[in-house]
Every structure is written in C-alpha cells, then in structure tokens.
C-alpha cells in the first residue's frame, strides 16, 4: 500500500490516499480518481476525501482506462472489447467489440477511439460510427504502457525509459517527451495542465512537473551549485582606466542561473552586449600580471525537447537584428525556409567528422552559430568539459546541438538539451570564446577575450 498527494488536482487541502499493489491505468472524472487493480480484476474509485470504492468487473487483463467527457462515461479496455461504465454506479452500460486482443490503453478523440496495441506497439484508430479500424501509427517505443489525449496531442507512457512521449494525433509523429525519475510507468493522465503517472513498481501516483510551449517541452529538473575559480593574466603597464568583466553562465529556457556572487566585492552586476556579467573598474592601485577570481552560482537545468512544428516550416521571415554577429550575412540565402535549413543541418550532422567541421559547414551555409562551453554531468558528478553550439533556425529560434551524432532515419525536426549539460559560458559572436573573462584597456577600446584556466567545485 502506498501514499500519494493530490493537492494539485483537488481544490481541497492536500490529503494522503492509498493505492492497491497492482494499479494500472488512471482516469479523472472531474471529481474522482479511477484506476484498475489487475489482480482483483476490479475498477477502483478514490473520492475527494480519500475513500475507496471497489467495482468488481470479473474480466482478466484489464489495463487501460480513461474518461470520455462527451458521454460522461468511463472507458475500460479488456481483450477485444471496450467497456462503457457509469461513474455514478460503476455499472457497465455498454460493450464495444474491437479486433484487438492486447489493448494497453484507450483515448477518446472526436468520433474515434485511439487504442494502444501491446502486440505491435501501435496506436490503432477505431471509428465509433462504423466499428472498424481506419488507420493508426507505430509508436516506435519498446514498452508502451498507456495512452491519453489532452492539449490537442496524444500522450503515451513508456516503461522502458520511464518517459512520457507526446504525439501529433494526425501524423503520429513524436513532438516532444517528458522525462521522469520514476520506475515501471503504467497509467498516464493529463488533466488540464497537470500530468499524472502511475509507477507500478514504487506503487505511486505522482504529478510530473513540466513546461509546454509551442517550441518545446521541458522536464526533468536538476540543480547544481558551483564555485568557479578563474586564473588569467593581464599584460599591460597601466590599469588606471581599464575594466575586467566576467560573463555569467547564460540564464535561459534550458537553465536558470541564480545567486551569482563574487568573492571580490568590487565586481558589480553589469551587461556586455545584452549578456549579464560582473564588472570591475580598475585603478592604479590594481596590479597587472597574474589574476585569480572566484565566484559561485546555482543553476536549475531542465531536460528540453524541441520540435519544429508545421507552422514554422514555410514561414516567411528574416533573421532578427540582434544575431548579426553570429553569421555572415553575405552567405545568407534569402530563398530558403526553415524546412530547407532543417535538411541542411541534418545532412551535415551525418557528414561532419567533428564539431568544428560541422560548425564550419553551418557558417558556410549562412546559418547563425553560437559556440559555448559546457560541463556534462553524470549522476550528479562532472564527467567532462566540452564545446558545443546552438544554431538559429530561421523563423523558429535558437536550437541546441550538443552532439552532432545522429542517424539517417532520425526526425530532422527534433532537438534536445539534457538537464545534465550545464553551459558555463557562451560566445558573443560566432568565434568561440576562450573563457568568460573580458578585458578593456580604456573606454574607447574594444572588449578583449582573455584566456583563463577554469576550475570548479560542485557544492
């Protein structure tokens, strides 16, 4: 027996609720949770004060459950049939025969039922009017376990990697995914903006936080606190009018940087080309030569899946003015759309032998490139420091390409940024920065990027 909190779904004060040992599937009728107990061959309702009611259906291999808002009926799938159940009484009001033996879940969308076929990991589309299968698509998942519909998409849980995948209901294409830290996912439920899943091994129902926009889905947050030490050299005679600036790690949709603090209090918050930094105005009292700076920050990183939807593919637009330093305008092809650039990016990921080779090909094609240096973590420990890039896709925005490796069959419209990748600093133009340290001799001089030795401690 386990406990879970329903405070996000219920308007009442948060309470604890118990689930049986073999919970499968999940539904919400607007008032109550429902799930299936596969051992008891029963349907179980949990009301708003945590009381349970058990309705024995007496059928083997019950798995999927959902709530059809149009008919105000629960849908439960069993071998070769869909049961319609009155949520007020728990009684079966109708049975629909279907030509599928092993059904893992059901979602009602318009005049169709979307059925998750366990035998071939396929979503089968069943027409309610004609009672025949009218199409479908393969999920490309190794262990899909449940399906639901919400926010104009189909959502499928996969127990192989304990991730929930979002699909376009018309094309069957994956348009994003939400990573969880749970085990043995079975049920999946999208209620409003909240995603709930059943973890059968841990015997839990949990709300999975995520952010969904037109461009990406973000989930799987990790937090890192680092203390960074920079060692560099200033080779100049006088520092009376000079300035030193240290760029912050970028704070964006992929990572949120907080609490940047310098040991040297004379460094104050500032901006360089719209990038946050800490800056110090030097004087004759400051000495040239070897310099050591220390600062701390906390980063909350998210696992992000970007998907370039149909609306972006043929959009007529131009590059915004603030990215001119990241590409050569003379190499820009004004006749190309996002669809064309996706082909260019994908083909060059296949052909490039290194990140530098790929970056050069992108620059030659007129694609804006932003280099950055990142720390890659594994199980909370720093594994490596490596260089990577973001590309600006025309009409869409910046997309990360942390690793150039891909396959010829990979979806060209799909990009990801892992929560285990922390960007230490990014470049101010298409030329890779050698460190986050910048030096200015006087007010009339340009900022000079200084080489620096970077070490860090994870707090």
| Mean pLDDT of all residues belonging to the chain | 90
Output the pLDDT for position 43: 92
pLDDT tens per residue across span 242-282: 999 999 999 999 999 999 999 999 999 999 988 999 999 99
Output the pLDDT for position 183: 79
Lowest mean pLDDT among 216-220, 223-227, 263-267: 216-220
Domains of the chain listed by start with CATH number: 2-209 (2.120.10.30), 213-459 (no CATH)
pLDDT above 70: percentage of residues in the chain: 96
**Cα separations in angstroms, 48 against 33, 76, 141, 142, 198:** 8, 21, 35, 36, 18
121 against 192, higher pLDDT: 121
Is residue 398 within 8 Å of residue 388, measured between CB atoms?
no
Output the pLDDT for position 16: 42
Taking residues 352-378, report their average pLDDT.
Answer: 95
Q: How many residues does the chain have?
A: 459
pLDDT tens per residue across span 375-392: 999 888 888 899 999 999
Output the pLDDT for position 13: 33
- Measured distance CA(255)–CA(40) in Å, rounded: 45
- Whether residue 439 is predicted with pLDDT greater than 90 in this model: the reply is yes
Output the pLDDT for position 186: 86
Taking residues 178-195, report their average pLDDT.
Answer: 86
pLDDT tens per residue across span 44-103: 998 877 788 899 998 888 888 999 999 999 999 999 999 999 998 989 999 999 999 999
- Whether residue 32 is predicted with pLDDT greater than 70 in this model: the reply is yes
Is residue 151 within 8 Å of residue 212, measured between CB atoms?
yes
Output the pLDDT for position 8: 41
- Whether residue 22 is predicted with pLDDT greater than 50 in this model: the reply is yes
């Amino acid at each position: 027996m386990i406990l879970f909190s329903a405070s996000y779904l219920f308007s009442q004060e948060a309470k604890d609720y118990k689930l049986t040992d073999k919970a499968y599937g999940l539904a919400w009728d607007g008032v109550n949770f429902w799930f299936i107990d596969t051992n008891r061959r029963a349907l179980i309702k949990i009301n708003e004060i945590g009381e349970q009611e058990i309705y024995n259906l007496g059928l083997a291999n019950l798995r999927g459950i959902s709530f059809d808002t149009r008919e105000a009926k629960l849908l439960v799938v069993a071998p070769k049939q869909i049961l319609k159940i009155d949520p007020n009484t728990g009684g079966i009001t109708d049975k629909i025969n279907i030509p599928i033996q092993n059904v893992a879940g059901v979602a009602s969308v318009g005049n169709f039922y979307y059925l998750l076929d366990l035998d071939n990991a396929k979503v089968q589309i069943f027409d309610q009017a004609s009672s025949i299968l009218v199409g479908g698509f393969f999920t490309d998942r190794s262990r899909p376990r449940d399906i639901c519909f919400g926010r104009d998409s189909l959502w499928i849980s996969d127990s192989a990697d304990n991730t929930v995948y979002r699909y376009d209901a018309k094309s069957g294409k994956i348009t994003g995914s939400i990573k969880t830290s749970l085990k043995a996912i079975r049920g999946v439920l999208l209620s409003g903006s909240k995603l709930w899943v059943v973890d059968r091994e841990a015997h839990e129902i949990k709300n999975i936080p995520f952010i969904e926009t037109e461009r990406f889905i973000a989930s799987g947050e990790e937090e890192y606190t680092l203390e960074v030490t920079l060692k560099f050299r200033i080779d100049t005679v006088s520092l009376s009018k000079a300035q030193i600036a240290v760029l912050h790690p970028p704070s964006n949709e992929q990572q949120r940087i907080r609490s940047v603090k310098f040991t040297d209090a004379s460094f104050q918050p500032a901006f360089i080309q719209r990038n946050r930094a800490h800056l110090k105005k030097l004087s004759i009292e400051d000495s040239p030569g070897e310099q050591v700076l220390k600062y701390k920050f906390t980063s909350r990183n998210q696992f992000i899946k970007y998907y370039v939807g149909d609306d972006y593919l043929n959009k007529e637009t131009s590059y915004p003015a603030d990215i001119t330093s990241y590409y050569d305008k003379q190499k820009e092809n004004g006749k190309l759309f996002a669809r064309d650039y996706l082909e260019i990016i994908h083909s060059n990921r296949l052909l490039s032998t290194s990140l530098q080779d790929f970056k050069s090909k992108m620059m030659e094609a007129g694609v804006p490139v932003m280099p950055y240096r990142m720390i890659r973590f594994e199980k909370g420990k720093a594994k490596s420091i490596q260089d990577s890039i973001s590309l600006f896709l025309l009409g869409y925005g910046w997309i990360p390409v942390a690793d150039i490796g891909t396959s010829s069959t990979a979806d060209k419209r799909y990009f990801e940024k892992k929560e285990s990748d922390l960007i230490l600093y990014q470049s101010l133009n298409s030329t890779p920065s050698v460190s986050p340290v910048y030096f200015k001799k006087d007010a009339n001089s340009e900022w000079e990027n200084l080489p620096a030795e970077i070490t860090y401690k994870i707090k």
